[in-house]
Structure 1
Amino acid sequence: MSNTMVIKQPEPVMVLQDSDQWGSRICDCCQDVPECFAFWCCPCFACKITDSYGEGLCLPLLDIFGMVPPITFAMRVSMRHRYGISQGSICGDCIYASFCTSCSWCQMSREMKRRKIQVKLVSTKRT
């Protein structure tokens, strides 16, 4: 008979209740000049923001294949959930993702900077 010990590390949980509102409006793109990059190359900007958020680097490239950009939509919903932003709705997120894609990415970037939370999930595996 062998003794097996299983140890599971606690997973990080981050709850931040800074504000239940977006830090800026959807059309406040000129507040931060580097955000204007989103209008010249939105896919590159979206990939950079998604990577900084802790998700897959090239995930926003999937937005090219649909009428409603699924990744932009999912990122807005995830960001509202993570930061506790009660302002807005899934319907509103869908509309912003569909018709104001560049502005949505700019707003999400400004929100990440305002909250000053850089999330990187790192997994290590011993070989």
Structure 2
Amino acid sequence: LSVSVMTSHQPRPFVMAHTSNQWSSGICDCCQNVPECEWALLSFCYTKHGECLCLPLLDGFGCIPPITMAMRVSVRNRYGIQGTICNDCLYSTFCGVCAWCQMSREMNVHEQNVNLVHNRAK
């Protein structure tokens, strides 16, 4: 008894996303996209990250800005970026504006860097 099975291979799209474990831009690359940095500073990236816009007010209390540091750690964890909490603390404390711009750029890269690629059957 012979059974013939017919299979059909359709082209399937697959998703390619940013897969690096490093930041897509440097901490001082604010001039890379000036309008984006301006927006990052005005909106504090909180709406992109799903947080309340009132959180930056908490950064004013204490030596280390806890919200900026927590957001930076969260962005690193969300996108699998290597780093240490010590570096996050230093960047948040001494380069807060640049840290916000970098986080905003990173979120944009991950939101926009999803491409559909089609495999063609040969």
Q: Which runs of 4+ in 1 moved over 3 A?
A: none
Aligned positions of 1:49-64 closer than 5 A: 49-64=45-60
Higher strand share: 2
Long gaps (5+) in structure 1: 1-15, 118-127
1:36 and 1:75 mapped to 2: Cα distance?
16
Greater RCO, CA 8 A, separation 6+: 2
C-alpha displacement of 1:35: 3.5
Q: What are structure 2's unaligned runs of at least 5 residues?
A: 1-16, 113-122
1:40-119 equivalent positions in 2, closer than 5 A: 42=41, 44-46=42-44, 49-86=45-82, 88-116=83-111
The 8 Å contact of residues 18 and 109 in structure 2, kept in 1 or not, is answered as no
Instruction: Report the AA paired with residue 112 of structure 1.
Output: M
Indicate the RMSD between aligned Cα atoms, in angstroms: 2.0
CA distance 1:32–1:17, change in 2 (3 Å): closer
Give the SS at the match of 1:32. Answer: helix
Rg (Cα) greater in structure? 2
TM-score of the pair, normalised by structure 1: 0.69
Do the aligned residues in 1 keep the contact of 2:58 with 2:67 (CA within 8 Å)?
yes
Q: For residues 70-122 of structure 1, give each alpha carbon's deviation from its aligned partner in whole angstroms, at most 9, with x where no partner exists.
A: 00000000110010001x210000000000000000000000000017xxxxx
Give distance in 1, aligned partners of 2:54 and 2:19: 29
Question: Aligned pair count?
Answer: 96
